[in-house]
């Protein structure tokens, strides 16, 4: 709360806040820093690029992109493979990302639950959250099997073609889900992708009714995923837990049996973070 002196002086601003704190207009944006972050985000999504390809794809001059990359390299955020002449995300990016994850106890509390889920099912267990209309995978415990699904922390996946994404869409308020779908679109990745609002709506209704969602080769042929939502204290879908693996191991007959430990794991994590399962979400 802002304080006010006894002599009637105007309220003091909280320390560290400049005038115009709420003003997020272009005049308060450092354009060179904003451009650098665009390059950094572009490289993170398309690992291993030459200077020329980055500049061409982003519509920037090679000289500008080079200065940005060298600056980021100094901070360890990117690194350069001199032999292959390719730029990659650097180790410092992982350190910063790990610090972000420590802001919440979600990942920490999920680890033993994911580990147990992997042991119970024999398949890779995943934890994901929604960010900017996509699924961000934040934790994973890999199966011991030689053939496995792999979504390393930091991987982004489209909501409509992901087991966790569909579990989240089914568990959130319909207006919010509709806004995400409208903004992101329904891209076809395989012949099984749900690319019409009607098909996706039917799938989400079924997912909501049975308590789990299935990615049936909708993102990658030969891979299936079974996911259930994790709810916060407001009864809103805050995350999703899944198991994923090849269709050779997760056949149609294994979907329902595997859904039971997935749902149990999601409910265990819901309880661990103080969440509640509402009548709508249950």
Element (H, E) at 240: strand 237-246
Q: Which residues of 149-161 are buried (b: 16+ CB within 10 A; e: fewer)?
A: bebebeebbbbbb
Domain-wise residue ranges, the chain? 26-94, 104-272
Give CA–CA dist 161/195, Å, rounded: 9
Collapsing DSSP to helix, strand or coil, 134 comes out as strand
Domain 26-94 CATH class label: mainly alpha
Give CA–CA dist 160/186, Å, rounded: 7
- The verdict on pTM exceeding 0.95 is no
Tokens matching residue 11: 């309220």
Give CA–CA dist 2/11, Å, rounded: 6
Residuewise pLDDT in 10s, the chain (282 residues): 444 445 555 555 555 555 554 555 566 778 889 999 999 989 987 778 999 999 999 999 999 999 999 999 999 999 999 999 999 988 888 778 766 655 557 888 999 999 999 999 999 999 999 998 999 999 999 998 877 676 778 888 999 999 999 999 999 988 999 999 999 999 999 999 999 999 999 999 999 999 999 999 999 999 999 999 999 888 889 999 999 999 999 999 999 999 999 999 999 999 998 888 864 444
Tokens matching residue 120: 């119970």
CB 173 within 8 A of CB 179: no
| pLDDT for the residue numbered 155 | 86
CB 181 within 8 A of CB 160: yes
| pLDDT for the residue numbered 152 | 76
Architecture of the domain delimited by 104-272 = 2-Layer Sandwich (3.30)
């Amino acid at each position: 709360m802002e304080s006010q002196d006894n002599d009637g002086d105007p309220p003091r601003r909280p320390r560290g806040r400049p005038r115009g704190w709420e003003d997020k207009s272009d005049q308060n944006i450092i354009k060179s820093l904003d451009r650098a972050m665009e390059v950094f985000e572009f490289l993170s999504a398309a690992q291993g690029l030459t200077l020329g390809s980055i500049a061409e794809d982003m519509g920037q001059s090679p000289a500008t992109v080079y200065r940005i990359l060298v600056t980021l390299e100094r901070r360890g955020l990117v690194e350069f493979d001199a032999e292959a002449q390719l730029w990659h995300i650097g180790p410092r990016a992982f350190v910063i990302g790990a610090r972000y994850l420590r802001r919440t106890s979600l990942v920490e509390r999920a680890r033993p639950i994911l580990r147990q889920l992997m042991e119970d099912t024999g398949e890779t267990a995943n934890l994901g959250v929604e960010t900017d209309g996509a699924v961000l995978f934040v934790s994973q415990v890999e199966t011991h099997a030689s053939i496995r699904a792999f979504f390393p922390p930091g991987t982004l996946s489209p909501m409509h073609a992901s087991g966790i994404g569909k579990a989240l869409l089914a568990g959130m308020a319909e207006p919010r889900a509709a806004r995400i779908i409208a903004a992101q679109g329904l891209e076809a990745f395989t012949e099984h992708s749900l690319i019409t609002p009607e098909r996706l709506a039917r799938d989400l209704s079924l997912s909501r009714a049975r308590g789990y969602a299935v990615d049936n080769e909708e993102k990658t042929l030969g891979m299936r995923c079974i996911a259930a939502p994790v709810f916060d204290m407001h009864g809103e879908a805050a995350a999703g837990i899944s198991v994923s693996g090849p269709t050779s191991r997760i056949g149609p007959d294994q979907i329902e049996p595997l859904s039971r430990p997935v749902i149990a794991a999601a409910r265990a994590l819901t309880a661990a973070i103080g969440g509640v399962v509402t009548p709508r979400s249950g």
